[in-house]
Amino acid sequence: MSAPTISQQARRLTAEETEQFHERGFVKNLPLLDEAGVQALQAGFMRMVEAPPKDVDLYRVNNWHKANHWFYELTQMPAILDYVEDLLGPDFFQWGGGFFIKFPHDEKLVPWHQDAKYWPLEPRTTVTVWLAVFDVDVDNGCMRVIPGSHRWGDLRHNDLAGAKDWNRGDQQESKYVLWQTVDPSEFDEGDAVDLTMKAGEISLHDDDLIHGSLGNTSDRMRAGITIRYSPTNVKCDLNVWSSFEAYPCRGVDEFRHNPVGRIPSKNGYPVVFNQKSTEFE
């Protein structure tokens, strides 16, 4: 699979965008790929999605960067790392990689949540890149965020009806990996902002930002690749998350808090939740 090509409009964050991220918790519509790059992204994405056997639930697997070399190369694109460096500083690693997909007329919503609630990381500092594979808008279920909510701390969450605590191998009744939602008393849904984007653009959001999405009521696919980065001072509690692995991006890791993952040599795929890199060739 060919690597997507970068747009000549790709750049560094402006001072205004950096301030917005810190004040509101997100920034969107950042240019990344040119027209040919978008076509390569879409073709590569569809080959990746179609690779796993039919019995692998795409909604319940993650860590594609550990299994798939094409995906791993996306996480290391210099143009993406430039944007991330402007927020995290010169020393950081990548640790999460997956995608969210809603097929046409899949009207199931993604519950309001804070990503950081699910991760035993200290300090809670993560920037998530959301790369639009196709145009994303309100009709096909774009991500929605509550501006400034990343500054409110750890909010009260409620278990989703019918969902169990997620452990690897569990048969979770919820369709998505998420099993909790922010208590509705903690925020006003009327404050939500829709992160509409064109294919090949990215958004960046803080791991504590409240976000979710409505269903896809259109006849178009909604798909976005998510990549997560943290500065090297962030440490994972391996007693809670034993399969956590860091992939160095830029700078020097003087802390060495986390095990380093093995770079995939082939375009494989995960089959269950939270696999280790040693499980792939």
Would you say residue 170 has pLDDT above 90?
no
pLDDT tens column, 145-162:
999 999 999 898 888 776
Question: Contact at 8 Å (CB) between 216 and 103?
Answer: yes
Would you say residue 123 has pLDDT above 80?
yes
123 preceded by a cis bond (ω within 30 of 0): yes
Lookup result for tokens 């690597």: 3
How many other C-beta atoms lie within 10 A of the C-beta of residue 207? Answer: 21
Average pLDDT on 16-39 reads 98
Question: Contact at 8 Å (CB) between 135 and 198?
Answer: yes
In a domain? residue 90:
yes
Q: What percent of the chain has pLDDT over 70?
A: 94
Would you say residue 25 has pLDDT above 60?
yes
Please state, rounded to an integer, the average pLDDT across all residues of the chain: 92
Q: Which of 177-181, 231-235, 273-277 has the lowest mean pLDDT?
A: 177-181
DSSP state of 254: S
In a domain? residue 159:
yes
Would you say residue 140 has pLDDT above 90?
yes
Question: Contact at 8 Å (CB) between 179 and 170?
Answer: no
The C-alpha atoms of residue 151 and residue 23 are separated, in whole angstroms, by 8
Q: What is the pTM of this model?
A: 0.94
- The reported pLDDT for the residue numbered 168 is 41
In a domain? residue 225:
yes
Tokens for 229, please give them: 């980065």
- Tell me how many domains the chain contains: 1
Lookup result for tokens 């960067």: 65
CA–centroid distance for 16 within its chain? 23
**Phi-psi region at 185: left, alpha or beta (left = phi > 0; alpha = psi -120 to 50):** alpha
In a domain? residue 281:
no
Domain span at residue 63 reads: 15-251
Average pLDDT on 75-86 reads 98
Average pLDDT on 214-243 reads 97
CATH of the domain at 180: 2.60.120.620
Of residues 87, 71, 81, the one with CA closest to residue 27: 87
How many other C-beta atoms lie within 10 A of the C-beta of residue 246? Answer: 22
pLDDT tens column, 31-73:
999 999 999 999 999 999 999 999 998 888 899 999 999 999 9
What is the SS3 assignment for 67? helix
Question: Contact at 8 Å (CB) between 25 and 151?
Answer: yes
